[in-house]
Amino acid sequence: MPHIVDNPLTANQEVLENLRLELRRGCLILAVLAELRIERYGYTLRKALADRGVEIDEGTLYPLLRRLESQGLLMSEWREEDKRNKRFYHLSKEGKSVLKQLTSEWNAISQSLDKLLNGVA
């Protein structure tokens, strides 16, 4: 029986997609924290992120918000708006501090990667 070899292009596309998703995950945390310097509820947060080119689906956003809140980086409260209960999120004091530190780290990494990717010594 002949051995069937997977199409290498398909395998490479799968590897690329996995790496792309891995890279994106860390960026999403920073994007969500940055956007929540202003209080927002889930839908307006998703829209604000999308308007800035950061698409995130609900199945990713809401678990991320719950995790960040359980880590003490966000605070939330339920309020009625337009006759509907909505959960509003904003950065906690700790979240503001972590955002500042992560932003500094991001800037340092970004500068280093720019040099590497553009071949600058």
Across 50-60, b (16+ Cβ under 10 Å) vs e yields: eeeebebeeee
> Which residue(s) pair with 41 in the sheet?
88
Q: Which of 109, 36, 80 is nearest to 45 (CA)?
A: 36
pLDDT (tens digit per residue) in 85-120: 999 999 999 999 999 999 999 999 999 999 999 987
pLDDT (tens digit per residue) in 37-80: 999 999 999 999 999 999 999 999 999 999 999 999 999 999 99
Q: Average pLDDT for residues 24-48, to the nearest whole number?
A: 95
DSSP designation for 53? T
Q: Average pLDDT for residues 31-39, to the nearest whole number?
A: 97
Q: Give the integer Cα–Cα distance in Å for 4 and 57.
A: 37
Between CA 48 and CA 24, with CA 97 as vertex, the angle to 5 degrees is 45
The CATH label, of 1.10.10.10, 1.20.900.10, 3.30.420.130, 1.10.3720.10, for the domain at 8-117 is 1.10.10.10
Q: Give the integer Cα–Cα distance in Å for 21 and 8.
A: 20
Task: Supply the pTM of this predicted model.
Answer: 0.82
Domain residue spans of the chain: 8-117
